[in-house]
Structure 1
Amino acid sequence: MIPSDHFTRFYNEVFKFLETQGEADLELYWLEISKNQEKHILELIETRGLAGMYQYWSVIKDEENCGLDLDLHEDRLELHMHACPSLAKAMDNDAKPMTRYCDHCAGWIGPIMDKTGYHLVYDAISRTEPRCVMKVFKDPAKAREAEASAQLLMGWPGRKSGEGGR
């Protein structure tokens, strides 16, 4: 098995290669990651909604030992990443992170949220700081309201134009 710090660097290079092949190839790759991740989170969302998402990301918080605050509200889930280990590891590499590195999170999370009727607002804040804010809403109007305050709003494959963007 490849260690996590090597894995992060490896998929950073995969992302860079796919980006040179064209945006469509990169986004297709992220859609495949999304389909794979459904095995881990889809049933939790379908059966437990926001609480299922909270359960899933609580495990990730512990497993990845990241600076992450999770807040479950009646109408939304908020994830505040203060120290993203993935981007930090990609940045701690002489090959540098791919320019759209942070897009891979929205690239796999967004399609799952779309599929389950939730609305993702993914604010990467910056492409060079290992932090972000993700908010998930059931109400699309509340999601649009939250998008207005995003610093660097991430889109994903399949997201309709006018629903935020990159």
Structure 2
Amino acid sequence: MIPSDHFTRFYNEVFKFLETQGEEALEAYWLAISKNQERHILELIQTRGLDGMYEYWSHIKIEENCDMDIDLDDDRLELRMHLCPSLSKVMDNDAAPMDRYCDHCAGWIGPIMDKTGYHMVYDAIDRQKPQCVMRIFKDKDKARAAETGAELLMGWPGRRAD
């Protein structure tokens, strides 16, 4: 199995290559990642909702050694990444990070949220800093209100126009 340090660097180079092929190629790849990730998270969301998301990202926090807080309320989940291990590893490399490396997170998570009826607000804050805030709401209006406070709001392929 490829070590995570190498995996993120590989991902970075794949993203850079696909970007040269056009936006459609990059979005198609993110959608393929999303479809693959459904095996890990879709049933948790469908059966346990926000609690299932909390369970999933709590496991990821440990597995990927993430410096992040996860806050769960009755109507939303908030993931606050203080130091993203993925972008940090890409930045600690002799090859330059893809300018939009952070976009892949919203690129795979957003379609799953759309499919399950949840409303995601993904604030990358700054693509050059390994931090972000993701909020997932049950209520569309609360999500739209939260978008106004985002510093760098991410979209994703096929995003629902609510």
Shift, 1:4, TM fit: 0.5
Q: Distance in 2 between matches of 1:33 and 1:6?
A: 18
* Matching residue of 1:86: 86
Q: What's the counterpart of residue 158 of structure 1? A: 158
The aligned amino acid for 1:115 is: K
User: Cα offset for 1:160?
Assistant: 4.1
TM-score with structure 2 setting the length = 0.98
Residue of structure 2 equivalent to 1:23: 23
1:130 is paired with a residue whose SS is coil
Q: Which residue identity lines up with residue 140 of structure 1 in the other structure?
A: K
- The CA distance in 1 between the partners of 2:145 and 2:97, in whole Å, is 31
Map 1:129-148 onto structure 2 (within 5 A).
Answer: 129-148=129-148
Look up the SS of the partner of 1:100 in the other structure: coil
**Where do 4+ consecutive residues of structure 1 move more than 6 Å?**
none
Where do 5+ consecutive residues of structure 2 fail to align?
none
State how 1:63-142 maps to structure 2 within 5 Å.
63-142=63-142
* Counterpart amino acid of residue 35 in structure 1: K
Contact 2:114 2:160 in 1 (8 A): no
Q: Tell me the distance in 1 between the aligned counterparts of 2:59 and 2:24.
A: 31
**Counterpart-to-counterpart distance in 1, 2:44 and 2:96:** 35
Tell me, what secondary structure is at the counterpart of 2:106? helix
Question: Percent identity of the aligned residues?
Answer: 77
TM-superposition CA deviations, 1:17-60 (whole Å, max 9, x none): 00000000000000000000000000000000000000000000
Can you give the 5+ residue segments of structure 1 that lack an aligned partner in the other structure?
none
Residue correspondences, number: 162
Give the TM-score, by structure 1 length.
0.96
- What is the SS of the residue equivalent to 2:150? coil
After superposition, the C-alpha distances for 1:4-24 in whole angstroms (9 at most, x for unaligned) are 000000010000000000000
2:118 and 2:53 mapped to 1: Cα distance? 11
Question: Quick one: distance in 2 between partners of 1:101 and 1:56?
Answer: 22
Q: 1: distance between equivalents of 2:99 and 2:24?
A: 16
State the partner residue of 2:38.
38
**Cα 1:152–1:45 shift into 2, 3 Å:** same
Q: CA RMSD in A?
A: 0.8
In 2, Cα distance between equivalents of 1:63 and 1:35? 21
Residue in structure 2 matched with residue 5 of structure 1 by the alignment:
5
Letter in 2 for 1:11: Y
